Structure 1
Amino acid sequence: MAERGGSSKARRRAPTKRQIDALGDDGSLFSLRLPAIVRERPLDSFGILLAVAGAGMIVANATLLQTPLHQRSRAMDDIQAPVPRPTVSAPAAPASTAQTQAAPVMNPSVREAQAELGRRGFYDGPADGLMGPKTEAAIRAFETRSGLQQTGQTSPQLLNALRKQPVAPQPSERVAGVQRALNKLGFGPLQADGLMGDGTRTAIRRFEARRGLPQRGEITQAMVSELSAVSGMKLP
């Protein structure tokens, strides 16, 4: 019985064939789970393991970290890049009034009518051939005096009536006032008869030259305003 019990314990303690094959050369249990090269050169095997682990970390960093960072950098560049604004052309500057308005043209018929009306005392402005309120008023006054239909415009009928009617100057209070102011300033002597004559025109030109005005020899608003300011006389 003792032998049977002893042999039974011996069988339980005896290693199996698989365990015997897995044991190392030294027969230690530590080398049971390790390959032979690890058992023979443990330091070199540990260094190789560290190198493999480092290479794996580098690859992981390149694939998992660098690519997203590059994509984020491009995204930030797209966000920060300024968006070009559409170019808006400046509106064209409007043409000046002087260019859009046509210059007045001298009309020979109007100039002749002004000259004839001036000789007869109906008109005291310049014979510039330009139709204006003063010329229209002078034509209407002549038409009324001559029994013509009032038009206030030049026409062949008006010019024929002016040419046929003898020159009978009509005195003008405005001309008389200018003559008196010119006499006061020493540009006379002039007879204040209210009639435009060569003496009055010459005196007006001298006054215009003295005051730096255009020398026209006619009673214009600029000349009357300057003459009134200088002489202190209120002129019509």
Structure 2
Amino acid sequence: MPGLVKLCGMRTPEDARAAIETGADLIGLVFAPSRRRVSLEEARAICRTVRESRNPPRIVGLFVDAPVDEIAMIASALELDLVQLHGNEPPEVLARLGWPALKAIRLRPGESLEAACDRIAPYFSRERNPLAILLDAYHPSLLGGTGQIVDWTLAAELAARFPIILAGGLRPETVAEAIALVRPLGVDVSSGIERDGHKDPQLMQAFVAAARRAFLTLDRPAEIRIGGMR
């Protein structure tokens, strides 16, 4: 596996089928307030579509500052492979949750490497660590899916220190450059594969293909392990 590719914000079984056809490693379902939010029943239909496919991607549930009991209930009911904590959840939440997790960190404008490391390091100082840190762009009122671009130079410095999945404003035409500069373990996209607010199969295909080509040029494989996945 040259690198992980996550397509986030699936809202319908049709979105999921298009994502499956790209060969994406992970798909994301949003359970936080957002225009991409899905209900439990909508998520069940998407999960059923994924698991009926020949080579199903892993399913990630995205939550923002939700109660641990609520996250655990949804994760168990849908048999999610991972959860993504995309709010201000402190490190101890991962231990209480007891579920494989990604932790999102939104890089602030002008944030220094030292400041970013100080925010990330506590998540790796406990018995249960996140599988990776998902770097997203800061927005004063929105928590993700904004299309704003992360500082790739800072992201590259962080990727040399922590397991990083890069998000934030990636598009089919920019993902290769981002991978070459940042050298992350994976990439994540939502708004960059949408047209008129809806997931676009052609953009999904283009994004995954560009990311795959770029990851093949790197001299190290992804090191995130989820069950049998590497």
Q: TM-score normalized by structure 2?
A: 0.23
More strand by proportion, 1 or 2? 2
Indicate the structure (1 or 2) with the bigger Cα radius of gyration.
1
Q: Which has the higher contact order (CA 8 A, sep 6+)?
A: 2
Q: TM-score normalized by structure 1?
A: 0.23
